[in-house]
C-alpha cells in the first residue's frame, strides 16, 4: 500500500472534552490537529469526549489539516470503544489514529484488523492511518518490530514524560529535552530519541518528537526543536497554541537549505548522466545518501509553501 506523505511539523494536542479549545484549534496554524481522548481527559469524561471527537471531525474548517485523534492505550477498558464509537460515526473523516503507550507490535496488528473490518462494513473509501507512540521501556525495546507491524503506520511519536517514568528517571519537573539544566546530567534523551528515529526511518515512517511542557518558555522550546531536528525528526507535538510558530519554523527547511538541496539534486543528476555516482558540491562529497536527504528537504519545503503555514497533506 502507498503511504500518504503528510506535512507533520507541528501536531497540536487538544483535550477533546474542552469544547472551547477544540473550537479554537481549527483556527490555529498546526499541520496536524490531534483530538485527545487519553491523558488529558479524566476517566469520567471519556464517553463525552468521544462524542466531541465525532462532532469536531465531521465539522467544517479543517482546511487541509491532518485530522487525528488519540485513543486510550490497549491496556485500558477504553481503547476499543474509542476506536469503534468514533470510526463508526466519523470514520471517513479520520486521517490518522494515534495509539499511545504501544508496548508490542501485536497491539497495532489488532487495531489494524478492527479498522479493516469497520472500513469494509461501513464502506470507508480510504484506509485510516496509524501513529504509534513509543513511551514505555517495552515499546522502546520492541520499536523495530512495532515500526513494521502495519502498512497503516505513518509515524512513530516519542512520549518523553511517560518514557522517563517507565525507565525510572527522576523527573525533577522537566519540560522536555532542551532544558538548560541538562548540561549537568548529560544528554540522557539521546539514546531513546536516536533509537526511535532509526526504527522509524528504516521503516519509511515519519518521526515525531514529544511536546515541551513549559509553554511559556519559547527559548527552551526552540532548543528542544533544534535537538530533535538535528537527529532527523520531522516535527514535534505542541500542547499550547503559542508553541506552533516556533515549531513550524524549526521544522521548515531554511531558504539556504532548500537552495543547497536543489543544487545537490541537480549536480547529482548531472553526475549520474555522466555515469558517475558521486560529485563534489561546495567542496563536499555528494552521493546517493546525501541526495536522498536533499530530496526530503525539497519535498518538505514545497509542502510547507503550499500549505501556507498549515499542514496540507501531500501525496
Ligand atoms: N488547543 C487549543 N486551544 C488551546 C490549547 C490547546 N492545546 N491550549 C490552550 N488553548 C487556548 C485556551 O483555551 C485559550 O483560549 P482563549 O484565548 O480563547 O481563551 C488560549 O489558548 C490561551 O490559553 P492559556 O490561557 O494560555 O492556557 P490555559 O491555561 O487555558 O491552558 C493548558 C493551559 C496547559 C491547560 C492547555 O494548554 C492544555 O490543556 N494543553 C493540552 C494538554 C494536552 O493535550 N495534554 C496531552 C498531550 S501531552
Ligand atoms: Mg504519554
Q: Please tell me the predicted confidence (pLDDT) of residue 5.
A: 79
Do 145 and 64 belong to one domain?
A: yes
Counting the structural domains of the chain, the total is: 2
Domain range for residue 211? 4-252
User: In the chain, where do the E strands start and end?
Assistant: 5-6, 10-15, 32-36, 66-70, 96-99, 129-134, 153-158, 206-209, 235-238, 279-281, 284-286, 313-314
Do 97 and 164 belong to one domain?
A: yes
Residue 26 Cβ < 6 Å to ligand 1: no
pLDDT lower than 70: segments of the chain = 1-2, 172-174, 180-186, 308-315
Q: How many helices (H) and strands (E) does the chain have?
A: 12, 12
Output the CA 167–ligand 2 centroid distance in Å.
13
Q: How far apart are CA 34 and CA 209, in angstroms?
A: 14
Last residue of a domain, one of 227, 252, 277: 252
Ligand 1 atom with least separation from CA of 25:
2
Output the CA 18–ligand 1 centroid distance in Å.
9
- Kindly state the cell numbers that stand for 169: 528517571
Which residue from 14, 16, 21 has its CB within 8 A of the most atoms of ligand 1, so it is best to mutate? 21
Do 266 and 202 belong to one domain?
A: no
84: CB partners within 8 A, 6+ apart: 114, 118
Q: How far apart are CA 49 and CA 237, in angstroms?
A: 20
Do 166 and 266 belong to one domain?
A: no
pLDDT tens column, 55-73:
999 999 898 899 999 999 9
Do 160 and 262 belong to one domain?
A: no
The torsion defined by the Cα of 174, 246, 55 and 67, in degrees rounded to 10, comes to -100
Plot region of 173 (φ>0 → left; ψ -120 to 50 → alpha; else → beta)? left
- Kindly state the cell numbers that stand for 272: 549520474
Last residue of a domain, one of 236, 252, 268: 252
Last residue of a domain, one of 199, 220, 252: 252
Q: Is 67 helix (H, G, I), strand (E, B) or coil?
A: strand
Q: Please tell me the predicted confidence (pLDDT) of residue 47.
A: 97
Do 106 and 197 belong to one domain?
A: yes
Do 32 and 100 belong to one domain?
A: yes
Do 181 and 227 belong to one domain?
A: yes
Ligand 1 atom with least separation from CA of 39:
46
Q: Please tell me the predicted confidence (pLDDT) of residue 179.
A: 74
Q: What is the CATH number of the domain that holds 40?
A: 3.20.20.60
Do 281 and 231 belong to one domain?
A: no
Which residue from 131, 239, 242, 244 has its CB within 8 A of the most atoms of ligand 1, so it is best to mutate? 239
Do 142 and 173 belong to one domain?
A: yes
Residue with CA closest to ligand 1 atom 12 = 21
Residue 211 Cβ < 6 Å to ligand 1: yes
Specify the pairing of strand 153-158 against strand 129-134. parallel
Do 49 and 179 belong to one domain?
A: yes
DSSP assignment letter at 183: G
Do 73 and 169 belong to one domain?
A: yes
Amino acid at each position: 500500500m502507498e503511504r500518504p506523505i503528510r506535512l507533520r511539523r507541528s501536531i497540536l494536542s487538544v483535550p477533546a472534552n474542552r469544547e472551547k479549545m477544540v473550537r479554537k484549534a481549527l483556527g490555529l496554524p498546526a499541520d496536524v490537529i490531534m483530538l485527545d481522548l487519553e491523558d488529558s481527559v479524566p476517566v469520567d469524561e471519556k464517553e463525552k469526549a468521544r462524542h466531541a471527537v465525532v462532532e469536531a471531525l465531521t465539522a467544517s474548517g479543517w482546511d487541509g489539516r491532518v485530522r487525528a485523534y488519540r485513543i486510550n492505550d490497549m491496556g485500558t477498558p477504553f481503547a476499543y470503544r474509542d476506536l469503534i464509537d468514533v470510526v463508526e460515526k466519523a470514520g471517513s473523516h479520520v486521517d490518522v489514529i494515534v495509539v499511545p503507550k504501544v508496548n508490542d507490535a501485536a497491539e497495532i496488528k489488532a487495531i489494524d484488523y478492527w479498522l479493516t473490518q469497520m472500513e469494509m462494513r461501513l464502506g470507508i473509501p480510504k484506509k485510516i492511518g496509524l501513529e504509534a507512540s513509543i513511551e514505555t521501556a517495552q515499546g522502546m525495546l520492541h520499536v523495530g518490530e512495532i515500526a513494521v507491524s502495519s502498512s497503516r503506520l505513518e509515524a512513530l511519536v516519542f512520549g518523553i514524560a511517560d518514557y522517563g517514568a517507565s525507565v525510572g528517571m527522576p523527573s525533577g519537573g522537566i519540560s522536555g529535552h532542551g532544558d538548560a539544566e541538562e548540561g549537568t546530567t548529560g544528554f540522557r534523551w539521546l539514546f531513546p530519541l536516536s533509537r526511535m528515529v532509526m526504527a522509524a526511518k528504516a521503516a519509511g515512517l515519519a518521526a515525531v518528537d514529544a511536546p515541551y511542557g513549559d509553554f511559556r518558555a519559547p527559548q527552551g522550546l526552540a532548543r528542544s526543536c533544534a535537538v530533535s531536528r538535528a537527529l532527523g525528526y520531522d516535527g514535534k507535538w505542541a500542547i499550547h497554541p503559542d508553541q506552533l510558530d516556533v515549531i513550524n519554523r524549526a521544522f521548515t527547511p531554511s531558504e539556504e537549505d532548500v537552495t543547497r538541496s536543489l543544487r545537490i539534486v541537480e549536480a547529482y543528476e548531472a553526475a549520474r548522466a555522466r555515469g558517475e555516482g558521486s560529485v563534489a558540491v561546495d567542496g563536499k562529497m555528494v552521493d546517493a545518501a546525501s541526495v536522498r536527504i536533499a530530496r526530503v528537504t525539497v519535498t518538505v519545503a514545497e509542502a510547507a509553501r503550499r500549505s501556507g503555514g498549515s499542514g496540507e497533506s501531500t501525496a
